Amino acid sequence: NAGVTQTPKFQVLKTGQSMTLQCAQDMNHEYMSWYRQDPGMGLRLIHYSVGAGITDQGEVPNGYNVSRSTTEDFPLRLLSAAPSQTSVYFCASSSIQEIAEAFFGQGTRLTVV
């Protein structure tokens, strides 16, 4: 039972590079979201989606893009990486009836140098 799968687990980028963090879920959940986790700040919502073709901004969307072409996949794109984007990124999914009861992936630790 895979749940929510994130790749890669670790990544080092140079300032200005772009990359895509992958997220896939196999629970047929409508709702998917991306968070970043920074020390002492908890998790902050970057972008979310309530279904295929529908995305919206969260609390800290600047510098990130998302798309949702299928129910299963919700990739997060960093357009031009900056040191301020060094963080741990978590993808989560949940049913639309219980959005707050989320299932999280194992995270991607990103370092931008």
Partner 1 sequence: GNSVTQMEGPVTLSEEAFLTINCTYTATGYPSLFWYVQYPGEGLQLLLKATKADDKGSNKGFEATYRKETTSFHLEKGSVQVSDSAVYFCALSDQAAGNKLTFGGGTRVLVKP
Contact residues for partner 1, defined by CB under 8 A: 4, 33, 40-45, 48, 58, 90, 92, 99-102, 104-107
Structure tokens given for 47: 């972008």
Q: How far is the CB of 87 from partner 1 (least distance, A)?
A: 14
Q: Which amino acid is at 19?
A: M
**How many other CB atoms are found less than 10 A from the CB of residue 24?**
19
Q: Which is nearer to partner 1, 82 or 88 (CB)?
A: 88
Structure tokens given for 32: 């998917």
Q: How far is the CB of 104 from partner 1 (least distance, A)?
A: 3
